Amino acid sequence: MARVRVVSVTSGKGGVGKSHLAANLSTLFAREGQRVLVIDADGGLSNVDVLLGVRPLLNLGDLLDGAPLEEVLCQVGPRLSLLAGGQGERRLAQLDDATRLALTSAWEQLLPRFDAVVVDVGSGVGDDVLFFASAGEVSLLVVTDEPTSIADAVVLIKALGAKASVREVDVVVNCVRTSRTAQAIFAKLQQSASFCGVRLRLVANIPDDQNIRRAAMAGRPLVELAPTSPASRAYERLAQTLLASPPRAPTGGLWFNEALLSSGS
Ligand SMILES: Nc1ncnc2c1ncn2[C@@H]1O[C@H](COP(=O)(O)OP(=O)(O)OP(=O)(O)O)[C@@H](O)[C@H]1O
Ligand SMILES: [Mg+2]
């Protein structure tokens, strides 16, 4: 099977910009000619569909219940598909064996169809976050300049290291004014999450950009609505960095491989 680039987007605290990042990155990957799937795996309130301006009929919950893939995937653009989240899909937050199996077999059906998969994982340290964050080769963690966001990010990094064998996390600092602020936030994270065996890298800082609100209202990704706006430029740089990066092994492995093993593949 050709290599599929899987990028997961997580955060400790909610409301820090994950869904906008996932929507814009997937749009940019598709623009670069990749066949892209964006998965809204936020088990709470999923809304990537709103940001992309589509109204999917079925969602991840239906897929787990056995609906055919062709019916569940929503076409957003010529190369961009969405697997929408089920509103309040609580099954994801605590994965029992049956759900884990269904998720894993859905995952295996999905991967061969795409060049890149972007997963909006949601926040917290639930099973779903650990599952999806360790399935990707790139685990993006979004953090903002708020003490709670930083503190929760540290908890998540530790959980990813201890429970999901994730060894590398790529940090995106969102809503910052200067790169110096981003560096300072990253330094705090590094200090607090030292000794937990997870290597952190600062891969992007996305400026505070009021156009993002406008994009959400219009149901269009910022990179389409305002391609030259400051945050669009930053999304673009990150997309290029990710596309240019050499192949990596999945960030975690253990958690996800266990699921694959128990699915018998
Ligand atoms: N770079 C930015 N500049 C200004 N506002 C932003 C930026 N990124 C996100 N926002 C705003 O922050 C809010 C949260 O964004 P978003 O929904 O992407 O976060 P989230 O982490 O997915 O939230 P949740 O945890 O609820 O799913 C939105 O109102 C959005 O407009
Ligand atoms: Mg979200």
**Residues 240-264: tens digit of each pLDDT:** 999 998 766 666 554 555 555 454 4
Task: Tell me what the mean pLDDT of segment 38-47 comes to.
Answer: 82
Token reading at 221:
């990704």
Q: In angstroms, rounded to a whole number, what is the distance separating the alpha carbons of residues 80 and 25?
A: 11
Question: The whole model's pTM is what?
Answer: 0.93
Probe target for ligand 1 pocket from 8, 11, 13, 16, with the most ligand atoms within 8 Å of CB: 16
- What is the per-residue DSSP string for 90-153? GGGTS--HHHHHHHHHHHHHHGGG-SEEEEEEEESS-HHHHHHHHHSSEEEEEE-SSHHHHHHH
| Predicted confidence (pLDDT) at residue 129 exceeds the cutoff of 90 | no
The better pLDDT of the pair 86, 146 is held by: 146
How many helices (H) and strands (E) the chain has is answered by 12, 8
Q: The domain that contains 24 carries what CATH number? A: 3.40.50.300
Q: Which residue range(s) make up the domain with 40?
A: 5-262
Ligand 1 atom 8 nearest Cα: 17
212 ligand 1 Cβ < 6 A: yes
42 lines ligand 1 (CB under 6 A): yes
Cα→Cα distances 198→167, 171, 222, 252, Å: 4, 12, 31, 10
CB 37 near ligand 1, within 6 Å: no
For ligand 2, an ion, list residues with CB under 5 A. Answer: 18-19
- Counting from 1 in the atom list of ligand 1, the atom nearest the Cα of 234 is 1
**Residue 1: its pLDDT value, please?**
43
How many domains, the chain? 1
How far is the C-alpha of 158 from the C-alpha of 151, rounded, in Å? 11
Ligand nearest the Cα of residue 18 is 1
Query: Among 96, 98, 148, 97, which residue's Cα sits nearest to residue 123?
Result: 148
Annotate 81-96 with b (16+ C-beta within 10 A) or e (fewer).
bbbbbbeebebbeebe
Rounded Cα gap, residues 59 and 86, in angstroms = 5
Instruction: Please give the backbone phi and psi of residue 232, each rounded to the nearest 5 degrees, phi first.
Output: -60, -45
Tell which wins on pLDDT, 12 or 96: 12
In angstroms, what is the span from residue 83 Cα to ligand 2's centroid? Answer: 14
**Helix 18-31 vs helix 211-218: crossing angle, to nearest 10:** 70
Instruction: Assess whether the C-beta atom of 16 lies below 6 angstroms from ligand 1.
Output: yes
Instruction: Please tell me the distance between residue 174's alpha carbon and the centre of ligand 2 in angstroms.
Output: 13
209 Cβ inside 6 Å of ligand 1: yes
- Nearest Cα neighbor of 256 from 108, 150, 47, 55 is 108
| pLDDT tens-place string over residues 165-176 | 889 999 999 999
Q: What is the mean pLDDT of the chain?
A: 88
